[in-house]
């Protein structure tokens, strides 16, 4: 795919982002349409559930998968938000949580598809065992916390 070769050309041409001249940067850039390819994940309605921390994490992973496989034109499935809400004991389900814990969980267990573990905006009446037949589709290789981004503890 041309979008992937375009990105590779930039990586091979410039040592880092500080070396990219202003004239080489496009006036606009939209990941939803790079030479006809959408690098973003599908938007989802989280409904009455406070699952934004999982929803944003999943969309970031889906976007990365699209970037990784764009040159092969492999259609990427939606990944499961519900699976992480019910199976990651480091989250608070619909009550919120920290995305870094989703990354750690996805390193260890992987993420199945939405088709296998569909989103229902609730963790009530569901348990992780309900998704035991779901095979991981995607696994995070490594996740890291960017210090100071969204968490600044004040307790000692």
Domains of the chain with bracketed CATH: 40-131 (3.90.70.10)
Enter the pTM of the model: 0.76
Average pLDDT over residues 138-149: 77
Residue scoring higher pLDDT (74 or 85): 85
Average pLDDT over residues 83-90: 92
CB 30 within 8 A of CB 40: no
What's the Cα-to-Cα distance from 121 to each of 4, 78, 85, 156, rounded to whole Å? 35, 16, 9, 35
């Amino acid at each position: 795919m041309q979008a992937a070769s375009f990105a590779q050309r930039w990586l091979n041409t410039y040592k880092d982002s500080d070396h990219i001249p202003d004239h080489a940067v496009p006036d606009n850039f939209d990941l939803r349409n790079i030479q006809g390819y959408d690098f973003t994940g599908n938007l989802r309605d989280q409904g009455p559930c406070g699952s934004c921390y999982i929803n944003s994490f999943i969309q970031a992973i889906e976007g990365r998968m699209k970037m990784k496989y764009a040159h092969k034109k492999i259609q990427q499935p939606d990944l499961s938000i519900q699976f992480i809400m019910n199976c990651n004991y480091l989250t608070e389900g619909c009550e919120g949580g920290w995305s870094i814990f989703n990354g750690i969980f996805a390193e260890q267990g992987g993420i199945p598809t939405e088709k296998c573990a569909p989103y229902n905006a609730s963790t009530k009446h569901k348990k992780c065992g309900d998704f035991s037949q779901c095979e991981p589709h995607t696994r995070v290789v490594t996740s890291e916390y960017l210090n100071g981004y969204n968490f600044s503890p004040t307790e000692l």
